[in-house]
Amino acid sequence: QVQLQQPGAELVKPGASVKLSCKASGYTFTNYWMHWVKQRPGQGLEWIGEINPYNGRTNYNEKFKNKATLTVDKSSSTAYMQLSSLTSADSAVYYCARFYYALDYWGQGTSVTVSS
């Protein structure tokens, strides 16, 4: 069965960076784009961007172009999102989701808390 495994939580200091992981299993990793979505506490969903694991091609929401960097490691079927220069506005849950015509499978999300 398709699974996307994400760590539950990360605590990071303001100004630092963090690299979130999303390990895929149960399907051919390189055949499906991977998307990333942000959700602040009590708020709606915000689309960050997508990556093609086959060739590394990316598309970003302009809002996140200087904040998020999407990469993959095909050898471990893992997608990554690095967030830089973190502030309190980056405290949120970040989901990875597989794209097959729509976002058909979602990870459990990683809760990122930015605090000193």
Partner 1 sequence: DIVMTQSPAILSVTPGDRVSLSCRASQSIGDYLHWYQQKSHESPRLLIKYTSQSISGIPSRFSGSGSGSDFTLSINSVDPEDVGVYYCQNGHSFPRTFGGGTKLEIK
- Nearest distance from C-beta of residue 72 to partner 1, angstroms: 19
Restricted to residues 48-77, the positions that interact with partner 1 (CB under 8 A) are 49-50, 59-63
Three-state SS for 6? coil
Instruction: Single out the residue of 24, 42, 10 nearest to residue 104, CA to CA.
Output: 24
Characterize the bridge pairing of strands 110-114 and 9-12.
parallel
Q: Which of 95, 110, 112, 114 binds partner 1 (CB under 8 A)?
A: 95
Binders of partner 1: how many residues, by CB under 8 A? 23
Characterize the bridge pairing of strands 45-51 and 58-60.
antiparallel
- Nearest distance from C-beta of residue 37 to partner 1, angstroms: 8
Binding site for partner 1 (CB under 8 A): 35, 37, 44-47, 49-50, 59-63, 95, 97, 101-104, 106-109
